């Protein structure tokens, strides 16, 4: 019998501390009107004393509680992040230890704002292999530690948070189509965490930990390349945009979503948005959105809806999945 994977449970978690646009206006030359009119963002959650693994652990714990599955039953944990606690040990192994998933192997995956989509695609293949039955996939970020808080062009955009899913084996196919892309040739338009050479035998290089973005280039990349690849995927799996019940997009900027909906000929009503509450949380944005849609009843998780999930960002990377939810 062919093995398939399905999303059986969802969860999200964000730090308690909320920073409004007006709070930012007190420390930099910006305003609520300027930020919200250009991005749709009104506030973001910023960690006070929690690390990325703390947020991811909250999500993993919630997934286990909701599904009533013991931690020992989990076969693997993948955490998509560009803001790990450390390079080693991975954030995922910290989550594994914290929840007591002693049978699971765990690792981090780095694909920036496409990270959750890339991780979910990878996890689906593992379960489809028939070798693994249950896995946890989490997108988690503390972007507040990579942002240059004196740079108003980036500081206003990002927030902290985590979201994730429990993936289980299923007799029916739920993952209908996918399309994953990278273009390292344009990678310099969105960078963070540059580590220079420091050995006594190397030419010295400076570290540059801050996130830097060419906003215009990324905006155009999203509305041109990403939208085109979404349209092609829908066409390739012999669907129309009308067949997609809900578009779960990376939450970077509301204007990007409006342009995408317009180009695809889809009502913006099919594009739920929450960047007004959380800002851009990179790999966490899609799973937080998915979890909220389940909480508010927009998504049933009974296999009756067709969802399109699409992430895009640093690398450059972009990826889209069509999934039965």
160-175 residue pLDDT tens: 999 999 999 999 999 9
Q: Which residues pair with 321 in a beta bridge?
A: 178, 309
For 141, what's the count of Cα atoms within 13 Å in the CB-facing half-sphere? 32
Is 250 among the residues known to form the active site?
yes
Predicted model pTM: 0.97
The catalytic position among 12, 113, 174, 293 is 113
SS3 of residue 296 by DSSP: coil
293 is catalytic: no
- Specify the DSSP element, H or E, that contains 31: none
User: Is the Cβ–Cβ distance between 12 and 59 less than 8 Å?
Assistant: yes
Report pLDDT for 2. Answer: 79
Residue-wise pLDDT tens digits, 236-268: 999 999 999 999 999 999 999 999 999 999 999
Dihedral sign for Cα atoms in the order 14, 165, 253, 187: positive
- Considering the candidates 12, 45, 174, 250, report the single residue annotated as catalytic: 250
Question: Using CA atoms, how far apart are residues 271 and 260, in angstroms rounded to an integer?
Answer: 10
Known catalytic residue at 237: no
Query: So what's the pLDDT on residue 1?
Result: 63
Please give the chain's pLDDT, 325 residues, in tens. Answer: 679 999 999 999 999 999 999 999 999 999 999 999 999 999 999 999 999 999 999 999 999 999 999 999 999 999 999 999 999 999 999 999 999 999 999 999 999 999 999 999 999 999 999 999 999 999 999 999 999 999 999 999 999 999 999 999 999 999 999 999 999 999 999 999 999 999 999 999 999 999 999 999 999 999 999 999 999 999 999 999 999 999 999 999 999 999 999 999 999 999 999 999 999 999 999 999 999 999 999 999 999 999 999 999 999 999 999 999 9
Domains of the chain: 4-172 (3.40.47.10), 176-324 (3.40.47.10)
CA dihedral in degrees (54, 57, 58, 63; nearest 10)?
170
Select which of 45, 253, 280, 293 is catalytic.
280
């Amino acid at each position: 019998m062919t093995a398939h994977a399905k999303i059986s449970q969802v969860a999200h978690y964000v730090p308690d501390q909320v920073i409004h646009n007006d709070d930012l206006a007190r420390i930099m030359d910006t305003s609520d009107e300027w930020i919200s009119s250009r991005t749709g963002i009104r506030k973001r959650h910023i960690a006070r004393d929690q690390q990325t693994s703390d947020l991811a652990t909250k999500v993993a714990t919630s997934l286990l509680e909701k599904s009533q599955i013991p931690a020992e039953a989990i076969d693997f944990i993948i955490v998509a992040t560009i803001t790990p606690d450390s390079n080693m040990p991975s954030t995922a192994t910290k989550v594994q230890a914290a929840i007591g998933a002693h049978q699971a192997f765990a690792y981090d995956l780095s694909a920036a704002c496409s990270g959750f989509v890339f991780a979910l695609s990878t996890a689906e293949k593992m379960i489809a292999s028939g070798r693994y039955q249950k896995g946890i996939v989490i997108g988690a970020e503390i972007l507040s530690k990579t942002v240059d808080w004196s740079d108003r062009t980036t500081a206003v955009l990002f927030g902290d948070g985590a979201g994730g899913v429990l993936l289980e084996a299923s007799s029916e196919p739920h993952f209908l189509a996918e399309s994953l892309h990278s273009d390292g040739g344009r990678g310099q338009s969105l960078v963070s965490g540059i580590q220079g050479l420091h050995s006594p035998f190397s030419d010295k290089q400076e570290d540059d930990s801050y996130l830097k973005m060419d906003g215009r280039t990324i905006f155009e990349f999203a509305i041109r390349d990403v939208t085109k690849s979404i349209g092609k995927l829908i066409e390739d799996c012999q669907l129309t945009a009308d067949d997609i019940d809900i578009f779960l997009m990376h939450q970077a900027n509301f204007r990007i979503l409006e342009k995408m909906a317009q180009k695809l000929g889809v009502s913006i009503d099919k594009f739920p948005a929450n960047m007004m509450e959380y800002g851009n949380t990179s790999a966490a944005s899609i799973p937080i959105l998915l979890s909220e849609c389940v909480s508010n009843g927009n998504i049933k998780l009974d296999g009756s809806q067709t969802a399109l999930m699409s992430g895009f960002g640093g690398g450059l990377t972009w990826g889209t999945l069509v999934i039965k939810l």
